[in-house]
């Protein structure tokens, strides 16, 4: 990452010198939590910018371009998602979107860093009251350990983690996928973000191949996310006969989505030809 105080800009540098940057007005917060370095900036045109260990997590204006796409395709593909588990997602955006579904009776969020949750509550206009929703249960803990040791069952598991590199690599391992599969009801659906299509291609391929060893079916899709090196990739694992290519348009009507378009669900599956060939082993 790079914060240039003289030029008032924050740039996240990806592999090969590719950068995503925002003009910032000021730095609001910088602190070291038990797990990571957290920074918060006020940008010129996108509201607040949350950064963890030098990587952009979200900007307030446009964060829905990530959270809507992570949550709604999966939940609308499931026939009746009532019990949902979120791994990560400390800013509250994923929890907010999950709770927009009337079928959801319980949404459990397991976030390892309580400081992220506190900062979200105090500084970010993201959660929209989700943390205080009676259907929500927020657990501060290790999501990998929780999934391994908890014997509860879920209709959907959503992993809202940092990039599939460094410590977060455990969330993209075959062992983690097997634990997730065991905790899913049948039918059940699992979804995770999987990094930049162009710049984390190898990580995407590794995660896809590991998921293929575990889930009954695996799907990949991409979407342009504001603040990320787009297009951004997502992976979906299915337990049972659920078909992720189809979503419930009737349930979608009440959601009033801004970025994800359920009526054009098929457009999610657009992937650069060379990446598709790699994924499909051609």
Catalytic residues: 160
Tally of residues, the chain: 282
Q: Give dist(CA 280, CA 282) in Å, integer.
A: 6
DSSP codes, the chain? -EEETTTTEEEEE-GGG-EEEEEEEEEEEEEE-SS-EEEEEEESSS-EEEEETTEEEEETTTTHHHHHHHHHHHHHHSS---EEEEEE-TTSHHHHHHTT-TT-SEEEEEES-HHHHHHHHHH-S-STTGGG-TTEEEEES-HHHHHHH----EEEEEEE-S-SSGGGGGGGSHHHHHHHHHHEEEEEEEEEEEEETTTSHHHHHHHHHHHHTTSSEEEEEEE--TTSSSSEEEEEEEESS--TT---HHHHGGG--SS--GGGGGGGG---HHHHHHHTT-
């Amino acid at each position: 990452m790079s914060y240039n105080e003289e030029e008032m800009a924050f740039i996240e540098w990806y592999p090969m010198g590719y950068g995503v940057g925002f003009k910032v007005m000021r730095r609001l917060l910088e602190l070291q939590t038990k797990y990571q370095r957290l920074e918060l900036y006020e940008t010129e045109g996108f509201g607040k910018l949350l950064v963890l260990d030098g990587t952009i997590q979200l900007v307030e204006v446009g964060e829905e371009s990530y959270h809507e796409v992570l949550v709604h395709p999966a939940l609308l593909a499931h026939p009746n998602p009532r019990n949902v588990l979120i791994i990560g997602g400390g800013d509250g955006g994923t929890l907010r979107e999950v709770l927009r579904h009337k079928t959801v009776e319980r949404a459990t969020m397991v976030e390892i860093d309580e400081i992220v949750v506190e900062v979200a509550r105090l500084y970010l206009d993201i959660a929209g009251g989700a943390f205080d929703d009676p259907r929500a249960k927020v657990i501060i803990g290790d999501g990998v350990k929780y999934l391994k040791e908890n014997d509860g069952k879920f209709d959907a598991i959503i992993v809202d983690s940092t990039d599939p590199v460094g410590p977060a690599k455990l969330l993209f391992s075959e062992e983690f996928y097997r634990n997730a599969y065991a905790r899913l009801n049948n039918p059940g659906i699992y979804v995770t973000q999987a990094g930049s299509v162009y710049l984390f291609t190898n990580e995407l391929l590794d995660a896809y191949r590991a998921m293929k060893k575990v889930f009954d079916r695996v799907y990949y899709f991409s979407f342009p996310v504001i603040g990320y090196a787009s297009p951004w990739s997502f992976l979906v694992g299915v337990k049972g006969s659920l078909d992720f290519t189809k979503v419930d348009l009737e349930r979608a009507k009440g959601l009033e989505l801004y970025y994800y378009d359920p009526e054009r669900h098929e457009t999610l599956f657009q992937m650069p030809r060379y990446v598709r060939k790699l994924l499909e082993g051609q």
